[in-house]
Amino acid sequence: MSIPPIVLAGIAASGAALGRGLFAGYPGQRVEGGLLTGKEQAIVSACADTFFPPGGPIPLSGTDAGLVEYFERYFERLPEAQRVLVRLLLFFIEHAPWVFGPRRKRFSSLKLPERLKVLEAMGTSPIYFRRIAFLSMRTMLTMGYLANPAVARAMRMKPNTAPFESRAQ
């Protein structure tokens, strides 16, 4: 039994489109020599500027506040098992719009209003895993944003990234 050429062509085209959607079109690493790939750093950047957009109430956007660099340092300190989970989290966020909408595009290629809709839908989803993915990303990026000295000054707070270390020395 042979497979008709039109079916083979359709399978090849689908495979090529899937490969392009999963792997192609990403910038190089923003943080050179980091453990995160250029794709993963692009996802972090898109999330950072969605949670903390340019022109928001605090003058620094997420990327201006160095969240990609913060996330890279955070990721480097994680044990290998947790790194795998963070990579899966980034993959899920990037490709969730294909499954859940509103557009059938990658998260990092959406415009800010569409990314906001995706994150809002994740945060209010009846699917527990989607809500946890949203909370996990928001928590990691908020820690980095609040650790930025310029953000802390704008909020009139003093950053303390190690609150449980002893000060008596």
Convert the pLDDT of each residue in 82-115 to its tens digit: 999 999 999 999 999 999 977 779 999 999 999 9
* Residue 140 counted as domain residue: yes
User: In angstroms, what CA-CA distances link 131 with 104, 105, 125?
Assistant: 20, 20, 6
Residue 162 belongs to some domain of the structure? no
Whether the predicted pLDDT of 169 surpasses 60: no
Residue 108 lies in a domain: yes
Q: Is residue 66 situated within a structural domain? A: yes
Phi-psi region of 36 (alpha: psi -120 to 50; beta: other; left: phi over 0): beta
pTM above 0.75, yes or no: yes
Residue 76 lies in a domain: yes
The helix-helix angle for 67-77 and 38-51 (nearest 10°) equals 120
Element (H, E) at 141: helix 128-147
pLDDT in tens, 130-151: 999 999 999 999 999 999 999 9
State how far the Cα of 151 lies from the Cα of 62, in Å rounded to an integer: 10
In a domain? residue 70: yes
Q: Is residue 139 part of a domain?
A: yes
Long-range contacts made by residues 37-45, C-beta under 8 angstroms, separation at least 24?
A: 39/94, 39/108, 40/87, 40/90, 41/68, 41/71, 41/72, 42/108, 43/90, 43/93, 43/94, 43/107, 43/108, 44/68, 44/71, 44/90, 44/141, 45/108
pLDDT of amino acid 16: 41
Residue 33 or residue 65, greater confidence = 65
Count of domains forming the chain: 1
Range of the domain at 39: 26-154
SS3 80: helix
**Is 103 a domain residue?**
yes
